[in-house]
Amino acid sequence: MRKRKKKYLKYNEIDTKNIKHLSVIMDGNGRWAKKQGLPRTAGHSAGVEKAREIVLFTKELKIPYLSLYTFSKENWKRSMDEVSFLMNLIVSHFEKEFQFYIDNRIKIIHLGDKNGLPEKVLNAIYKVEEDTKNFDSITLLLAINYSGKYDIIQAVNRIIKDGVNGEITEDIFKNYLLTKDIPDPDLIIRTGNEFRISNYFLWQAAYTEFYISDKNWPDFTKEDMIEAINNYNNRERRFGGVK
């Protein structure tokens, strides 16, 4: 039997109505820098610039939520110099791009463990969260010092602390996660040609579709994002059922 060729939409036809939450694991900054003969820190700087481009493009596509895996709990294992650079980069980014978020009415929410983050990073996070809390064009979730295991454990500890009695249902448990008021991701894009979840959204990604790009994050383009969304739109999401 002849297989029907899948239809891939053009940019001006792209359909995002079935995507409420798009997420990206931004991988490959260090490898990108190495290929350019540059230090790893240059890759992280390029990655931040790419994130700005993709945030704005997501807003143009009218996708309500975008989450970016920015710094995991495991990333503390990297060299002190690299970690210090990344923390300073987060602060400088918020300072440099603050007006960008204001002008585009982008709401910022931090996901992750605030304990252990440097005070200057916390202050930058608190400021941008407070000053953008009433914006409604798009919500940008920045997973900084985040891990899926941490998210689940902190939810369990808060349930115990609150003395919740009776059976713990999925609905009750979800209300204790860091993403309690946020829809689960419909699509997670991972760059860098890596096929793993890296301790990210372990609960929330139970039925998320994945798209793996072989491009390192700084090389990821709007066209690549369109390809990922078109690929998603050509899938059948059955959520354990049968169609």
Mind telling me the catalytic residues?
27, 75
Question: Measured between alpha carbons, how far is residue 179 from residues 120, 121, 158, 176, 182 in Å?
Answer: 24, 21, 14, 8, 5
Instruction: Name the region of 167 (left: φ>0; alpha: ψ -120 to 50; beta: rest).
Output: beta
Question: Measured between alpha carbons, how far is residue 192 from residues 3, 152, 217, 224 in Å?
Answer: 30, 27, 7, 13
Q: In degrees, to the nearest 5, what angle opens at C-alpha 126 toward C-alphas 120 and 132?
A: 135
Query: What is the distance between the alpha carbons of residues 171 and 148, in angstroms, rounded to a whole number?
Result: 18
Q: Output the CA torsion sign for 197, 201, 204, 208.
A: negative
Query: What is the distance between the alpha carbons of residues 242 and 158, in angstroms, rounded to a whole number?
Result: 37
Residue 74 burial by Cβ neighbours in a 10 Å radius (0-12, 13-18, 19+): exposed
